[in-house]
Structure 1
Amino acid sequence: MVVVAGMVALAVGMPSNWGLGDRLGFVVVGLIVAGILHILARSRVTADDRGVTVVNGLRTHEYEWAEILGVSMPEGAPWPTLDLADGSTVPAMGIQSSDGDRARYAVAELTALVHERGEAREA
C-alpha cells in the first residue's frame, strides 16, 4: 500500500510536461511492485498435527508427516528444503537463512517434529 501511495504521490507531483500516460505508468509500476512484494511476503511454513503446509509465493503445498523424510539447509542456502518420500524436494521459503539464529531455530524445530511425527524415515 505504501509503495502504491508513493507512486501515486510521485505521479501527481511530476512536472507539467509529463502526460497522463506517464503518470499512469508510475501508478502501474507501483501496483506491479506491490503485487510482487505481496507474493513474496506470503511465504510461510506451518506445522500442525496433520503435517506441514508450505506456502511459496503463489503455490501452497500440504504434506502429511509421513511424506517428509527430512529438512536440510546447507551453509549458504537461502532457505531450507523438505526432502520428500517420493524423492523430490520442496523449498520452504518461509524460513529465510538471512534471519540467522531465528532461521536455525525454526529448521531445528521442524527437523525435530519430522523425526517425532514422521513415519517415512529409515528404520
Structure 2
Amino acid sequence: MTTSKSKPVFEYRPRRSRLGSWITAAVFFLTFAALSFSLSATTEGGGVMTPADHFAMWGLGVLGALAFLVFSRPRIRVFDHGIEVRNLGSAQVFPWEVVTGLSFPKGVPWATLELADDDEVSLMALQPTDKERALEATRTLRARIDAHRN
C-alpha cells in the first residue's frame, strides 16, 4: 500500500517539538562553529590546531545538528485507505481494518494508536505540548477512526 501517489485527507505535524528541534540544532551547530574559531593555533601541551581540526569541529556541529533534526520527523497522515504514522524512524501504514482506537491519557508524552491485535503504536506527532491544536487533531483522528469502524 503506497501513500506517495494519493493525497492525504488529513495531515498533522507537531509545532512545538519541531520548533524546539530546529532551534536546538541551530544552537548546537553555531556552538561548534564558534568553538572552532576560538581554538588557538597551539595548545598548552605543544599540539598544533590545523585547518583540518577546525573543519572537523564544523563537521561535528553538522552531525550533531542532524541528530537533533531527527526529532522534527514525526507526522500523521490520514488517507482513505488507512493512516500513515511516521515517528523518528520509517513510516508505517495501517489500513483502517486494523485500527480500533486512539488513546491520549493525561500525563503521557504522546498519543497511542490502538490496533486490532491488541498492539499499540505511539503517535509521537500528537503531543500535549501543542495544546489546543493537538486536541483538535485528536478529535479529527477519532472521528475518522469511528467513521471507518462503522
Do Structure 1 and Structure 2 share a fold, with TM-score over 0.5? yes
Q: 1:107 aligns with which of 107, 121, 138?
A: 138
Counterparts of 1:70 and 1:94, CA distance in 2: 16
Tell me the residue number matched to 1:10: 35
> How far does residue 96 in structure 1 lie from its aligned partner after superposition?
1.5
Give the 4+ runs in structure 1 shifted more than 4 A.
none
Residue equivalent to 1:35: 66
TM-score, scaled to structure 2: 0.68
The 2-side partners of 1:17 and 1:105 are apart by: 58
The gaps in structure 2 that reach 5 residues or longer are 1-24, 44-48
Alignment TM-score, normalising by the size of structure 1: 0.82
1:63-85, CA deviations, whole angstroms, 9 ceiling, x for partnerless residues? 01111000011001111000000
Count matched residues. 119
What is the CA-CA distance between 1:47 and the residue it aligns to? 0.5
Report the equivalent of 1:82: 113
For 2:85, give the aligned amino acid.
V
Q: Distance in 2 between matches of 1:44 and 1:37?
A: 16
> Which structure 1 segments of 5+ residues have no match?
none
My pick for the range that moved more, 41-50 or 8-17, is: 8-17
Q: Is the CA contact 2:29–2:65 (under 8 Å) kept in the aligned structure 1?
A: no
Aligned partners of 2:137 and 2:99: how far apart in 1? 16
Map of 1:44-59 to 2, 5 A cutoff?
44-59=75-90
Q: Which amino acid aligns with 1:98?
A: T
- 1:118–1:25 CA distance, 2 compared to 1 (3 A): farther
Letter paired with 1:47: V
Report the CA distance shift for 1:118/1:33 in structure 2 as closer, same or farther (over 3 A): farther
* In 1, Cα distance between equivalents of 2:29 and 2:61: 8
Contact 1:45–1:94, Cα closer than 8 Å, also in 2? yes
- More displaced, 30-39 or 15-24? 15-24
